[in-house]
Every structure is written in structure tokens, then in C-alpha cells.
Chain A
Amino acid sequence: MHVPDGFLDAPTSAATGAVAVAAVGVALLKARNELDDKTAPMAGLVAAFIFAVQMLNFPVGTGTSGHLMGGALAAVLVGPWTGVLCVSVVLLVQSLLFADGGITALGTNIVLMAVTTVLVGWIAFRLLQAVLPKRLSLTPVQAGIGAFASVPVAASVFVLLYAVGGTADIAFHTLMTAMFGVHTLIGIGEGVITCLAVGAIIGVRPDLVYGARPVLARRELVIKKPAVA
């Protein structure tokens, strides 16, 4: 869903650029609390992995493809603020080196694919974690559901931005229907990839998954109980 230059007018692009700068600035400050001995080595790798998987477009319906956005995946693996940084770096490199996403649209793409997907994916993930049983086996599924939800929401935010500053006159509901529909399908792929990736790391080293920590902390308490008695 990389927005190219020209889709949104200059004022809208400037506004999303300002929001993106602010979001990345806050993320730089907040990520410090997430990056410890376990997450710090993972962060660069998670970004590199997301870049690689974003190259793997999968078919959705006839003549249309989609690919991972990765915000929810990054948030669950290394923490939401670090996730914003990871996906922002991916988007910056894609824009500069591959012209995948515009230069003036970089702020828009960061708002959509770094900020929105992290926000939606992480909040949905944490809500599910709060209401469902505290089992490690559920963590990949919760991440997948958060990832699934994040894609149509990001597409909807694009449509809202287009309603404000789109350079062509497209009816709001027409664009919303089209974007929401195709990105709900792409969201299924996002959810499956996120579930598999989180599940793979949980399988070997659950302690390296930032989002699994509340469950792990609880599990360790349960294990230690008989030793004390």
C-alpha cells in the first residue's frame, strides 16, 4: 500500500510528514525502555525481515496482489515504539533506494504503515491478551488477529487522507469500499504471516518475543510455586 508521490496534495503530505516526524521522534525516546539485552539484537533483524517479506507479494483475487505491512509483527516481537522505528526504516529505504512509495509521501506511508498498523495491531493484541487465557500458545494467534485488523484500518486512514487531500475527485464511499475490501483480503495474509513468524520464534525462544513477556512472567510464577512449598 505504498503511496506514491502525486496521490495526495502538498498540504496533506506536509501534515502527514509532520505527524510522522513527531511519531518517530517520540518513538526514539520511548523505544529506549523496550530495547534491552534481549530485544536490542532483534530490532534490526526484525526490520530486515519485514523488508524481505514485503518483497513477497501474494495474490488476492484476480489481478491484484498484496504484501505484509509488518507493523503488528514488529510491535509484538520488539515492542510498539521500536516497531514504529523498524517499519519507518523499511519505508525510508524502500522510498530512497527502490522508489517504492514517494518521497513527499514518506510521511504518509509512515503514518499509514508504521504508526497505524503498530497502533492497531498492538492495541488489538494487548486487548486479546487481557481477555483470553494467559497461554503462550495463544500469543501467535493474538498477534495474527491484531495484524489482520491493522491492514483494513490503515487502508481506511488512507481513504480519510484522500478525502482531505486527494488529487483526483473520487467519491468517498466508492474509494472506501474498494480499499477496505481488498485490504481486508490482504489483511488475511498479514495475519497468517504474523502468526507464523511470531509462532516460530516463540517455539524456540519465547523470551525474545516482547509481547509474550506478560504471559511468560505469569508462567514463571506458577512454576516456582511448588518449589517454595
Chain B
Amino acid sequence: MRRVATRWVVLGIAVLALVLAGVVSRFADSDPDGLTRVSQDHGFAHTEKGRDGLLGGYSGATGVLGVLVVLGLAGGVTYAVRRRRPRDEQS
């Protein structure tokens, strides 16, 4: 089997995430999710304390921004705690 270079896999997942968040998300079902629906059906939806997020709601543009923020934050955290090669440990 021909080995696909890591950078193509990385690029592929990144592009896919951006397209899903930026474009495909507009076709997402807008009905309430499982917990929200159960809270409506069983009369405790009103106990929710709503507030606004820094970016407001989800849209293609804010979704793309969200993907980039998550990528930076999760990538940064995991990069910081990763296992270094022996030569890195010495330096």
C-alpha cells in the first residue's frame, strides 16, 4: 500500500474540518438537540439561564473561527505536554 505522507493527512483533516464548519454546517438540523427537547417535553427548559457567547451563535464564519481557535488551543496544549525525543530532553 502506498504510504500517504503525514502532511497530506494533516492537511486533509484540517480542510475537511473547515469545510464542515464553514459550509456543510448550514445544512445541519436546526431542531433542538436531545437534552433540549427532553427539557421542553418535561417542563424544565425554563430553568436554563441563557447568556451570550463572545461570538454569538454558530454560523459558517464563526464556525471557521471556532475550528481555528480549537486547533490552536488543543494543538498548543498537546504540543506542550508531548513526549520529547531524548535529544530534546537533554537540551
List A residues at the B interface (Cβ < 8 Å). Answer: 1-7, 28-29, 31-33, 35-38, 40-49, 51-53, 55-60, 63-67, 78, 82, 85-86, 89-90, 92-100, 102-103, 155, 158, 166-168, 170, 174-175, 178-179, 182-183, 186, 201, 204-205, 208
- Given the known A-B contacts A93-B70, A96-B54, are A182 and B34 also in contact in the complex, defined by CB atoms under 8 Å? yes
**Chain B interface residue count: which class?**
35 or more
Query: Do B24 and A99 touch across chains, with their CB atoms under 8 A apart?
Result: no
Task: Enumerate the 7 nearest inter-chain pairs by beta-carbon distance, A residue then B residue, closest first.
Answer: A44-B75, A47-B74, A99-B53, A43-B78, A6-B49, A168-B44, A35-B82
Bound Cα distance from A36 to B30, whole angstroms:
39
Query: Do A97 and B62 touch across chains, with their CB atoms under 8 A apart?
Result: yes
Residues of A within 8 A of B42 (CB): 170, 174-175, 178
List B residues at the A interface (Cβ < 8 Å). Answer: 3-4, 6, 9-10, 13-14, 16-18, 20-21, 24-25, 27-35, 37-39, 41-44, 47-58, 62-63, 65-79, 81-83, 85
A105, chain B: closest CB distance, angstroms? 9
Query: Do B74 and A1 touch across chains, with their CB atoms under 8 A apart?
Result: no
- Given the known A-B contacts A179-B38, A201-B9, A205-B9, are A89 and B63 also in contact in the complex, defined by CB atoms under 8 Å? no
B35, chain A: closest CB distance, angstroms? 5
